[in-house]
Amino acid sequence: MKVKNLQPNATVAACIERILVIENDRTSTPFSLPLFANGLPTLLFTSAKGRIGNNSAAHLTLFGQTILPETLAFRAGFVLIAYFFKPCSLRSIFGISALELTDKPVDLNLLAPKKTLELQERLLNAGSTENRIALLNSYISGLIKDSKNRNSVIEYAASKIAHRPSPEILTLVQKELHLTERTFQRMFDRDIGITPSLYRRICQFNSAFQQLNSRTFDKLSDIAFQHGYADQSHYVRSFKEFTNLTPKDYLNFGS
């Protein structure tokens, strides 16, 4: 199995954080990919149809905010390409309220069949991963050119929170932008799909998760304190909330 994390090219970098590619040619070995909260809407292409929890997955799936942990399972070999969008992209790029897709991934063809059925067919018949990425880049760059309803205020707020997801950041950003608490929350619900408080906690969890995943720590308490948790128990509770696992269970998973 090959796993690659790619930086978006200039045509899509305005709305894409990163691209994940997984190529698994084991045609007879089942595979499960955990889906955890990361604060980023995602467009997912898979060459083989899998299952998200108990539901059949499409070849092209659009995810909003993921809060509840889930798994994407395949019975056979597959190619997976995931485009991780910047937090405010659902409304500005796809023209839908972000709240509609929170924990409710949808077949992209149900949103815009005239534009995406042909794209799906070309992706399935493409001869290489590079060709598939070129097709997706072309599709997304077209959406960016036609995008409307960009909310630069919430884009700025989301970026500030993601880079410093400490408990006090919400009050600081809200005051900086001269927004009432009610307006701040309403704009987050519409443009990101969750409350500012939950978004901050997801960013905090995801930042700590990256360090855990890289194994660059001596003790779990080191991760807890470096990422603003009150103590190790607080960190473990947060981790379990978003994964249904403890950090130790996650590290031991599959070993």
Section 90-106 average pLDDT? 94
CA 118 remoteness from chain centre? 25
Instruction: Return the pLDDT at 25.
Output: 87
In the chain, where the domains are located = 2-145, 152-252
Predicted confidence band of residue 253 (pLDDT cuts 50, 70, 90): confident
Can you give the C-alpha Rg of the chain in angstroms?
19
Q: Measured between alpha carbons, how far is 17 from 175 in angstroms, rounded to an integer? A: 27
Section 189-207 average pLDDT? 97
> In the numeric block, which tokens belong to residue 91?
């409304």
Section 126-135 average pLDDT? 96
Instruction: Return the pLDDT at 127.
Output: 86
Instruction: Return the pLDDT at 255.
Output: 52
Strand, helix or coil at 7? coil
Q: Measured between alpha carbons, how far is 172 from 161 in angstroms, rounded to an integer? A: 10
Instruction: Return the pLDDT at 112.
Output: 85
Q: Measured between alpha carbons, how far is 152 from 136 in angstroms, rounded to an integer? A: 25
2-145 — its CATH code? Answer: 2.60.120
Arithmetic mean of pLDDT over the chain: 94
| Residue 4: CB atoms within 10 Å | 11
Percent of the chain with pLDDT over 70: 99
| Residue 35: CB atoms within 10 Å | 19
Q: Check pLDDT > 70 for residue 16.
A: yes
| Residue 132: CB atoms within 10 Å | 20
Regarding the domain delimited by 152-252, which CATH topology (the fold level of the hierarchy) does it fall under? Arc Repressor Mutant, subunit A (1.10.10)
- pLDDT tens for residues 36-81? 999 999 999 999 999 998 899 999 999 999 999 999 999 889 999 9
What burial class does residue 130 get, using C-beta atoms within 10 Å of its C-beta: 0-12 exposed, 13-18 middle, 19+ buried? exposed
Instruction: Return the pLDDT at 149.
Output: 81
Contact 91, 193 (CB under 8 A): no
In order of 20, 86, 179, the CA distances from 39 in angstroms are 15, 8, 22
Q: Check pLDDT > 80 for residue 88.
A: yes
> In the numeric block, which tokens belong to residue 86?
């910047």
Q: Measured between alpha carbons, how far is 218 from 229 in angstroms, rounded to an integer? A: 16
Q: Check pLDDT > 80 for residue 254.
A: no
- pLDDT tens for residues 199-249? 999 999 999 999 999 998 999 999 999 999 999 999 999 999 999 999 999
Q: Measured between alpha carbons, how far is 209 from 187 in angstroms, rounded to an integer? A: 27
Instruction: Return the pLDDT at 109.
Output: 95
